Amino acid sequence: MHDPAVSFAARLIRWQRQRGRHDLPWQNTRDAYRIWLSEIMLQQTQVATVISYYQRFLERFPDVGTLAAAPVGAVLEHWAGLGYYARARNLHRCAQVVVEKHGGRFPEAPSDLAALPGIGRSTAAAIAAFAFGVRAAILDGNVKRVLARCFGVEGFPGGAAVEKELWRLAESLLPEAQIEAYTQGIMDLGATLCTRANPRCAECPMAEICIAKRDGRQAELPVAKPGKPLPHREASMLVLTDGGHVLLERRPPMGIWGGLLALPEVPLAEADSFAARRGCRLVATHALPAVQHSFSHFRLTIQPLLCRVEPDGSRVEEPGWEWQAVESLDSAALPAPLKRLLLCAF
């Protein structure tokens, strides 16, 4: 085959049939809800991590109507630990829009799917291909890496001009048929063989046509994002406990850990007065080990202080605050680093 597009697609489809992944829990279905859920969960999260979350999520929210009707807090509880929590809030809003504006059925056209909350161009194409057999190109991080290496695309893939070139390339490579196998195949290839580090070129179906392999440039392509050190922030958090409960705050809907429960962020020197404002008397304090956590745009050091308290008789329920039972912390809608901190402390 002399046409590189035909050769690429044919090689990919043949490899996917023989060597690709076929037993993931969201495969072998045309259910747009299940496909959409898996695609959102797989954004910036590894397959191995997603599987158990996906299965538990479906048990609680088996269809789009159930998800749309649920309180957002319940959705966040089942998402806690997956990170990038805007995905969960958009997931909930998307379900509501599908029910309210589309009668509970996901639209088939990629452009209509991309107009829904939390669904971008690439995710819309994946849903359309797997659920409806629509011929549309995807371009996630794995696909960018495969295309950059195989076709020798220079420049950082996140840059506007390079991304535009990659979209043009991705669309030109689409086969006329078997779009599901092709789409799954290019995902599988990037996830299992054409990995960021130590790509398994000897097993790759593109080995004979790959420019990066030919020129020994696997480590150079795709071009890395220009380096920029992440800023560092510090936060003091109080672990107020009466022995059986911990005081938690519901974060605002937007921003870091939006909508989740979190420890109160209070200067350590103000622990006594803070406890008093919550209707408690501070009995003893103990510094816990610092917790390091990296977000996409900054690094955070949390200095937690364990505060043993006793109620002074003036404790009242306040909006946005709740005393969570220690035995239920494992299932609470807490960010992963705070959940680990509390489970170690208790």
Indicate which residues carry an active-site annotation. 39
Query: Does residue 238 contact residue 305 with C-beta atoms inside 8 Å?
Result: yes
Pairwise CA distance, residues 94 & 86, whole Å: 12
Q: Which helix (H) or strand (E) holds 65?
A: helix 64-69
Number of helical H runs and strand E runs in the chain: 14, 7
Query: Does residue 283 contact residue 276 with C-beta atoms inside 8 Å?
Result: no
Name residue 242's amino acid.
D
Pairwise CA distance, residues 346 & 342, whole Å: 6
Long-range contacts of 205-210 (CB under 8 A, 24+ apart): 205/11, 205/12, 205/14, 205/15, 205/19, 206/8, 206/11, 206/12, 206/146, 206/150, 209/4, 209/7, 209/8, 209/11, 209/150, 210/149, 210/150
